[in-house]
Amino acid sequence: MQIEGRNQVRQAIDSGLTINKIMIDSNYSHRKDEIVFFARKKRIRIDFVPKQALDRKSTTSHHQGYIADAVDFKYTDLEELLNDKSEKPLYVLLDGIEDPHNFGAIIRSCECAGVNGIIIPKNRACLVNDTVVRTSTGAISNMKIALVTNLKEAINELKNKNIWVYAAETGGENIYQKNLNQPIAIIIGSEGKGVKKSIIDNCDGVISLPLKGKVNSLNASVACGIVIFEILRQRG
């Protein structure tokens, strides 16, 4: 997994990710640099290379002089994720989110809201990649993500843990009139199709955001942010 950008590489070092090497613009080799300091402290290989080499390797055009080659993201086992001892855990499930920018933004919102974990399916969905890492702006370092084969089975596991599961979708109960002050999991659907009916049928209910405009849906990451922070508001 390739991580680009000064802050993103710094966060990757702090997170404990296994980093094979860091490529740094050779123009920076003469100055004191905290990334160099912490990388050497953790005995991570550093290659000072011409900026042109970084430009060729970059997939984002925003490397800022730093590119790290890291071992792929380590997912958390679902059983371990659901073993959380919080009094009122909050989980977010993603049903078919395919845009890495949306996924990264969701991770950032979830980390800021103190969500206990995110659950994603293995198939027909975006997995953690360098774009997701970059878009999360470091939040992924502090967020547990479980990768599951079957989202329905994960929902059943949540229910077995006495966690209420709601799909965030149109046609449900008004979120501002629904009591969400309980152990809860929220399902956010794909950008184009929303939460699948077969998934909704497994849920305890559907909650909706009241929309007043002519467009009948929100961006998935925006909707997720509103929902989880409404849950936080209700919890005081």
Which pTM value belongs to this model? 0.77
DSSP β-ladder status, 117-121 and 90-95: parallel
| 158 and 216 fall within a common domain | yes
Do 99 and 130 sit in the same domain of this protein? yes
**How many C-beta atoms surround the C-beta of residue 208 within 10 A?**
19
Is the per-residue pLDDT at 72 higher than 80? no
What is the 3-class SS of 25-44, one letter each residue? EHHHCCCCCHHHHHHHHCCC
**In Å, how far from its chain's centre is CA 169?**
20
pLDDT digits (tens, 9 = 90+) for 178-189: 999 999 999 999
Tell me the residue range of the domain where 48 lies.
2-70
The residue out of 54, 70, 86 marking a domain boundary is 70
Q: How many domains is the chain partitioned into structurally?
A: 2
Q: Is the pLDDT of residue 80 over 90?
A: yes
Looking at the fold, whether 84 and 180 belong to one and the same domain comes out as: yes
Domain match, 122 and 223 both: yes
Comparing 50 with 18, the larger pLDDT belongs to 50
199 vs 218, more confident? 199
Per-residue burial over 44-65, b if 16 or more Cβ lie within 10 Å, else e, is beeeebeeeebeeebebeebeb
Helix (H) or strand (E) holding 171: strand 164-174
Answer yes or no: do 65 and 98 share one domain. no
The one-letter amino acid at 65: G
**What would the pLDDT profile of 106-155 be if each residue is shown by its tens digit?**
999 999 999 999 999 998 899 888 788 878 887 888 899 999 999 999 99
**Residues 223, 116 share a domain:** yes
pLDDT above 90 (res 14): no
The SS3 of residue 208 is strand
Task: Report how far residue 71's alpha carbon sits from residue 69's, in angstroms, rounded to the nearest whole number.
Answer: 7
CA angle, residues 112, 183, 127, in degrees to nearest 5: 50
Selection from 64, 75, 81, 78 nearest residue 22 by Cα: 64
